[in-house]
Chains A and B, each alone.
Chain A
Amino acid sequence: MIQALGLGSDVLAVLAMLLAVAGILAFLTLRYAARPSAPLRRIEAWERLKELANRAAETAQPIHVALGAGPWEGLPIAEALMGWVALGYVARRAAACAQEALVTAGDGVLWAGAQGILNEARRQAGIIVPTALPEVRFSGPDPMAYAVGAVETARDRPCTAHLLAGHFGPEGLWLAQAAAQTGAPRLGGTADALTGALLYASLDEAVFGEDLFAAGAYLDQPHHLGSLFTQDLLRSVIIVLILGGTVLASLGLWG
């Protein structure tokens, strides 16, 4: 059976690892769903987003959530999903105060997903929702065209802040710097290391790499604590493996 499916030892190892991680993730998610609290180190960008969501509720000026341009060609879908997680938080906070949101997307799938998230947030808040929301704007499928369109959209109405959450390339720098002209704080980030460096220089608060994937746990989805601690556990295992491998290789026992 295993040979018929072409399963080599490397594939079996990957499958076993995925199953083990899925088991740990399911266990920790159930555990933290039952007891949703844990000490977390402070991530400035997510703390600032909470403050800005409060300010948006007071001023009735939305937080502009920029989801980035199409992720589907290069497949950084996880970043897009985390963009939706951050949008979900902003949408729920806005819906709780019966306020509008402002979202820009440079990809049809991101745009459609954002519509669904806003509709669901309003449904949960008991607000009757139309089928298509004008606050979610499609700004063009090309990254630079998206950035220009998103800035134009943000200039149309005063915003409390600009949140860049999703996949960004160099257009993220363009968007962040152009959005600075509105005077509103800018925060967010991306998982891409090179773009992350550009965004660190241009945003007021930036998140990198794994901090981006912690959005749910830090904002309003405590069941994401399970995945956060799964990542920590895996990171610890990797550190032990690297150190163990280094020691074994130095002693001439491996490699």
Chain B
Amino acid sequence: MKRILPIILASGCGLLALLDYLIASPGIDAIGGALSEGVIILAAFALILGVLNLASVHGRRLAAQGERRVLSGLLLVALVGTLALGVVPGPGQALAWIFNYLYMPLQATLTALLAFFLMIAVYRAFRLKNSDAAILLGVSLFLFLAQLPLSGAISPYLPALGEWLLAVPVTAGMRGLLLGVALGTMVTALRVLLAIDQPFRGE
């Protein structure tokens, strides 16, 4: 029973959620809605556990007096401080200030760094280590050239060829990739529904 019950529950809930998408019935809609709400509530509790794990890991680092104890201390102060400001009743201006003037700029800074990381990654990928990299480099340089405003002046065929490359081989490749992902997603979901995979049991 200990083994069978989770399988019946998981497969049953999965099946009901699937039917909720396909069948317009008030009864199944209500069950589907309740299941979705249940997932949100469970995910919220899992998030609390995750935050406790974060606090415990950094608490231990702080206590261990290691090299990065200052950073761990800062993280804990920020975590507890933001939490306190969030639960205190009131207009929430302090929380909005933290969000607008600390969180958002930090996010923007990290995102801006992506441009530099992308350049480094592209440099690595374009080193001619194999034929794949050579094709990638050749096609990228050609498309870069074909999309320049003055490419038409070099040759009238250049922009047209660039457009053809994007519209035919690139789109075909993307569609093939998406079809593969869709099939993989469907089969993975069916594996859980049929209890071939039981991720809820750690298997």
Interface residue ranges, A against B (CB under 8 Å): 4-7, 11, 14-15, 18, 21-22, 25-26, 29, 72, 77-78, 81-82, 84-85, 88, 105, 107-109, 111-113, 116-121, 132, 134, 136-142, 144, 147-149, 152, 170, 173-174, 176-178, 191, 193, 196, 198, 200-202, 208-210, 212-214, 216, 223-224, 226-227, 230-231, 234-235, 238
Contacts and interface: CB of A to CB of B under 8 A. Distances in A.
Q: Is the interface of B mostly helix, strand, loop or mixed?
A: helix
B117 A173 contact: yes
Contacts of A234: 183, 187
A108 B52 CA distance: 10
B74 interface: no
Top 3 nearest A-B pairs (CB, nearest first) are: A108-B46, A120-B202, A213-B184
A82 B201 contact: no
B49 interface: yes
Contact of B120 (A6, A21, A177, A223): A177
A120 B187 contact: no
Given A6-B25, A144-B111, A231-B184, A196 B191 contact: no
A198 B117 CA distance: 10
A174 B117 contact: yes
Interface in B114-145: 114, 117-118, 120-122, 124-125
Contacts of B107: 142, 144
B184 A210 contact: yes
Given A111-B53, A138-B50, A235-B180, A173 B42 contact: no
A193 B121 contact: no
Contacts of B184: 78, 82, 191, 209-210, 212-214, 231
B60 to A, nearest CB: 8
B54 interface: yes
Residue among B107, B196, B201 with the most chain A CB within 10 A?
A: B196
A223 B193 CA distance: 15
B34 interface: no
Interface residues of B, number: 60
Given A77-B189, A88-B203, A210-B180, 9 more contacts: A25-B187, A108-B44, A116-B200, A116-B201, A120-B201, A177-B117, A178-B117, A202-B121, A213-B184
Contact of B187 (A84, A113, A213): A213
Contact of B196 (A14, A25, A112, A148): A25
11 contacts: A72-B39, A108-B48, A111-B49, A116-B202, A138-B49, A140-B54, A201-B124, A202-B124, A210-B181, A212-B184, A213-B185
A193 B182 CA distance: 12
Nearest to B185: A78
Contacts of B16: none
Interface in B47-72: 47-51, 53-54, 56-57, 60, 68, 71
B121 to A, nearest CB: 4
A10 B202 CA distance: 36
Interface in B157-174: 174
B194 A26 contact: yes
Contacts of A15: 22
B182 to A, nearest CB: 9
B150 interface: no
Contacts of A22: 190, 193-194
B192 interface: yes
A18 B23 contact: no
B53 A136 contact: yes
A10 to B, nearest CB: 9
Residue among A138, A170, A226 with the most chain B CB within 10 A?
A: A138
A198 B121 contact: yes
A72 B196 CA distance: 22
